[in-house]
Amino acid sequence: MTCRLLYLVGSLVLGGLERQLVLLLQAMDRTRYRPAVAVWDFDGADPFVRAVRALDVPLHAVPRRPTRLGRLAAFRRLAAQLRPEVIHSFSFFTNVAAWAAAPGAGAIAVGSVQSDFVHDQRSTGRVLGPLCARWPRDQIFNSASAAARARRAGGPFAPARAFVVRNAVDPVRFAPAAPADAARARLLGVGALASTKRWDRFVDAVGALVHSGCDVEATIVGEGPLRPLLERRARARGVADRVRLLGAVADDACLARLYADATLLVHTGDVEGTPNVVLEAMACARPVVAADTGDVSALVEDGTTGFVVPGDDATALRDRIGTLLADRPLCRRMGGAGRARAEREFAPGRLVAGTLAAYRAAGWRPGPGAEAPAP
């Protein structure tokens, strides 16, 4: 007997939560679980559409309607037809839709917080944000820090129960590899060119390092509205020839090659849950210098797999990067420790086990032969 699970996601664009959904589907035992995916804003050209279809997972586009309430009614009808046992909203802004559709489908509803709890509420809107924070009553958080903020918030607009299931990384797709020969050290940053990623800190650190005599270059992988601003900032800091804005990279093999060719990853975002890019760098045996936000300090073991610095401390960021650039054996030791930790603590099996355990805690009762595996 297989258990029917329905995942509702906002889109299948190139993003962190979308990558985690695909990883969850890949690692799930399909002899025991029968997942399907419903996409709120479906676009067949989105990068992860092909990935979901390649897994032979049924993919449904939520019918478009002139109003949000009309689309909600369409999703409720779709869920009632599919009759899943669990409806898991993977995007924060679809949380309340999963909750509204669950009774008619005879399902348990579970929501998600994939970043910062307060930021997700505010960015989702004055009405929809609080509703998605409250319903479903059971929600999975990808970081303990966000779950703690939700518990502190309390009141009517917070979930009743918050389960922490951190992100995972595929240790096969992201694996250590020898770097290309390069005399110049290479810094890597990965993420959308958006204000929450604080690429200004990254560019400023490159400028400070170059002007202090470091022979270093940087590559930023990602696309977004801040590209012109970052190009101007790099010129103003005198490092336009040292900072390359590569654009988005959808192919995992190409992304893994970029990690392999990097000396280290620099992560400067200030609104995070469990950053995928930190886990990917660790899996590729590259040390990480990261701003202390979200669960970064629980991922990066300061002084062992990299360094964690206060987000607003530009001097600490520059100095920690400089320490690694000046000590390649330290880079290799930290990279090796990061790889071991990624394999041990962030394997896809843990993502599946933790997710299914949260479903059970929310009231799901799997049939015979489909019990959730132990984490």
pLDDT at residue number 297? 97
Residues 340 and 357 in one domain: no
The answer to whether residue 112 is domain-embedded is yes
Residues 71 and 189 in one domain: no
Residues 253 and 125 in one domain: no
pLDDT at residue number 101? 99
Q: What band does 222 get if pLDDT is binned at 50, 70 and 90?
A: very high
pLDDT at residue number 368? 64
The answer to whether residue 177 is domain-embedded is no
Q: How far is CA 303 from CA 89, 236, 358, in A?
A: 37, 33, 33
pLDDT at residue number 128? 97
pLDDT at residue number 71? 97
Residues 89 and 146 in one domain: yes
The answer to whether residue 179 is domain-embedded is no
Residues 133 and 250 in one domain: no
Q: What band does 370 get if pLDDT is binned at 50, 70 and 90?
A: low
Percent of the chain with pLDDT over 70: 97
Around Cβ 196, how many Cβ atoms within 10 Å?
Answer: 16
Residues 163 and 209 in one domain: no
Q: What band does 1 get if pLDDT is binned at 50, 70 and 90?
A: low
Contacts of 198 (CB under 8 A, 6+ apart): 268, 269, 270, 291, 311
CA distance 121 to 95: 11
Residues 111 and 232 in one domain: no
The mean pLDDT value for 8-35 works out to: 97
Decide if pLDDT at 21 tops 70: yes
pLDDT at residue number 367? 72
Decide if pLDDT at 371 tops 60: no
The answer to whether residue 199 is domain-embedded is yes
The answer to whether residue 369 is domain-embedded is no
Contacts of 186 (CB under 8 A, 6+ apart): 179, 216, 217, 218, 219, 261, 262, 263
Residues 256 and 299 in one domain: yes
Residues 213 and 164 in one domain: no
Residues 160 and 241 in one domain: no
Tracing tokens 């559409």 back to the chain, one arrives at: 49
The mean pLDDT value for 250-277 works out to: 97
Decide if pLDDT at 314 tops 80: yes
Tokens coding 63: 């019918």
The mean pLDDT value for 110-131 works out to: 95
Number of structural domains the chain divides into: 2
Q: Does residue 155 or residue 80 have the better pLDDT?
A: 80
**What pLDDT digit, counting tens, does each position of 36-87 carry?**
999 999 999 999 999 999 999 999 999 999 999 999 999 999 999 999 999 9
Closest CA to 63 of 81, 83, 45: 81
Q: How far is CA 64 from CA 21, 43, 67, 83, 330, in A?
A: 22, 12, 8, 21, 53
The mean pLDDT value for 327-344 works out to: 98
Residues 125 and 36 in one domain: yes
Decide if pLDDT at 232 tops 70: yes
Q: Does residue 374 or residue 318 have the better pLDDT?
A: 318
> Does 136 sit behind a cis peptide bond, omega within 30 degrees of 0 on the bond before it?
yes
Tell me the CATH number at 289. Answer: 3.40.50.2000
pLDDT at residue number 373? 54
The answer to whether residue 371 is domain-embedded is no
Around Cβ 179, how many Cβ atoms within 10 Å?
Answer: 14
The mean pLDDT value for 78-101 works out to: 99
Query: Which domain covers residue 61, as residue numbers?
Result: 3-168+347-361
pLDDT at residue number 179? 87
The answer to whether residue 152 is domain-embedded is yes
pLDDT at residue number 342? 98
CA distance 113 to 146: 8
The mean pLDDT value for 18-43 works out to: 98
CA distance 9 to 228: 30
Alpha-carbon Rg for the chain, nearest whole angstrom, is: 21
Q: What is the mean pLDDT of the chain?
A: 96
The answer to whether residue 176 is domain-embedded is no
**What pLDDT digit, counting tens, does each position of 160-211 carry?**
999 999 999 999 999 999 987 777 899 999 999 999 999 999 999 999 999 9
Q: What band does 153 get if pLDDT is binned at 50, 70 and 90?
A: confident
Residues 202 and 56 in one domain: no
pLDDT at residue number 195? 96
Tracing tokens 């509702």 back to the chain, one arrives at: 8
